[in-house]
Amino acid sequence: MGSSGSFPIDLVLFGMIAAFLVLRLRSILGKRTGFERSAPPEMPAQPRAAAAPIIQGTAEPAQAAPARMQMPDPASAASQALQAMRAIDPSFDPARFVAGAEQAFRMIVRAFAASDRATLKPLLGDETFAAFDHAIAAREKDGQTQVSDIRAIQSIDILDATLRGSVANLTVRIASDQISYTTDQNGRHLTGTDAVTEIIDLWTFERDLTQPDPTWRLVAVRSG
């Protein structure tokens, strides 16, 4: 897998399906597992414009030590799929994929928090970018703000790997410590907490290994 600066080109991410936008989009990146204020239930369908907050915040620089990572059991179907991917594309390296996913995760958090459409567009698939763009426009209209600040990424594990022909799919579980809360236009808290909270995300990436484009595209995001 190639790289550009500190961010591997083949780990450029792309997309979250619109159906994932949950909890009034106050935390598009995952489900909280620690202490938090009460939050509205998940929304299984397309987000409503009136419910979409602005997310703004920052992502911390890459940690000195990489996040812990775990690969599938060598005897598992996922592990066999990883080997098959390597057979199609000898440059494919699961460990480098995970390292790049950490950097990409931070990049997407930062861009979405800043409503940076120009940065997001090349990272997302068409349908997913449309969902992000819709969410950004809606929360801008409502004047709501969601602060989403990554403090640390604790672990990134490859949970599953599948290969359909030459099209590879990898699902990773990302555990991160974040501050995430929503405020109204007057700065009053609506949801979330300013305490550091663990958030779990499951992201699925896809790439046709026979194509020269090394980009892995994010095709699904859900809370873990």
| 3-state DSSP assignment of residue 131 | helix
Decide if 157 is inside a domain. yes
Between CA 37 and CA 63 the distance in angstroms is: 28
pLDDT of amino acid 222: 87
Decide if 145 is inside a domain. yes
pLDDT of amino acid 66: 57
Decide if 2 is inside a domain. no
Domain that holds residue 177: 9-37+45-223
Between CA 212 and CA 223 the distance in angstroms is: 31
Between CA 191 and CA 24 the distance in angstroms is: 9
Please indicate, yes or no, whether the overall pTM of this predicted structure exceeds 0.75: no
pLDDT, block means (10 residues), the chain with 224 residues: 43 37 37 37 34 33 62 94 96 91 85 85 79 86 87 95 96 94 86 90 92 86 82
Q: How many residues does the chain have?
A: 224
Decide if 70 is inside a domain. yes
The DSSP bridge partners found for residue 122 are: none
Decide if 183 is inside a domain. yes
Decide if 4 is inside a domain. no
Between CA 116 and CA 119 the distance in angstroms is: 6
Decide if 209 is inside a domain. yes
pLDDT of amino acid 111: 83
Q: Could you tell me which of 146, 123, 122, 86 has the C-alpha nearest to residue 203? A: 123
Between CA 208 and CA 88 the distance in angstroms is: 10
Kindly state the tokens that stand for 143: 């004047």
Kindly report each contact of residues 41-45 with a partner whose C-beta sits within 8 Å and lies 24 or more positions away, as own/partner.
42/223, 44/19, 45/19
Decide if 3 is inside a domain. no
pLDDT of amino acid 125: 73
Q: Indicate the number of domains in the chain.
A: 1
Residue 156, domain CATH: 3.10.450.240
